[in-house]
């Protein structure tokens, strides 16, 4: 269901546990726990995420998280509604800069676990077709993210 890949950083079982817990809750919340959808999560460094950001988004800067969905929102909604999970499908890829997660946890004054969990749930909802560029879209996405984190009792400290 979830594959975790390390690109130029050390493996970390605690990070894997956080990611698996958060994604499992996301799948449950969206009724996908019995689907054959899978997600690839790559944990990397700022240099690699900057290169990916430049290559795919033409933005030459490091960022915290990138998401690459495999479905358009309408297509995914139809698949979910019709329970069309006969075949394994990739929901998409999430790429996270662990160094950026550490920096932002300090900057925002909360735990590394909270920041990593937020990056995972944020990436997941991008894969589900949600966005936050427009205010009306943000009003749909943010409550979903917060519900997952609150249900897991991963709160801001």
**Per-residue pLDDT tens over the stretch 2-11:** 999 999 999 9
pTM of the entire structure? Answer: 0.94
- 58 dihedral zone (left: phi>0; alpha: psi -120 to 50; beta): left
Give the separation between CA 16 and CA 91, rounded to whole angstroms: 19
State pLDDT tens for residues 95-108: 999 999 999 999 99
CATH says 2-151 is which class? alpha beta
Q: How far apart are CA 6 and CA 23, in angstroms?
A: 17
**CA angle, 79 as apex, 52 and 68 as ends, to 5°?**
5
Cα separation, 132 vs 80, in Å, equals: 22
Question: 133 or 14: which carries more pLDDT confidence?
Answer: 14
């Amino acid at each position: 269901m979830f594959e975790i890949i390390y690109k130029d950083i050390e493996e970390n079982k605690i990070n894997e546990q956080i990611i698996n817990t958060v994604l499992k809750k996301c799948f449950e919340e969206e009724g996908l726990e019995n689907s054959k959808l899978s997600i690839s999560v790559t944990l990397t460094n700022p240099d690699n995420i900057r290169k990916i950001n430049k290559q795919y988004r033409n933005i030459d800067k490091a960022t915290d998280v990138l998401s690459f969905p495999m479905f358009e929102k309408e297509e995914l909604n139809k698949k979910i509604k019709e329970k069309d999970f006969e075949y394994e499908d990739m929901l998409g890829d999430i790429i996270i800069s662990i160094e950026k997660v550490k920096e932002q946890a300090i900057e925002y004054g909360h735990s590394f676990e909270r920041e990593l969990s937020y990056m995972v749930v944020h990436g997941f909802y991008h894969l589900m077709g949600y966005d936050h560029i427009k205010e009306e879209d943000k009003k749909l996405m943010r409550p979903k993210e917060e519900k997952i984190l609150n249900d897991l009792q991963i709160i801001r400290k």
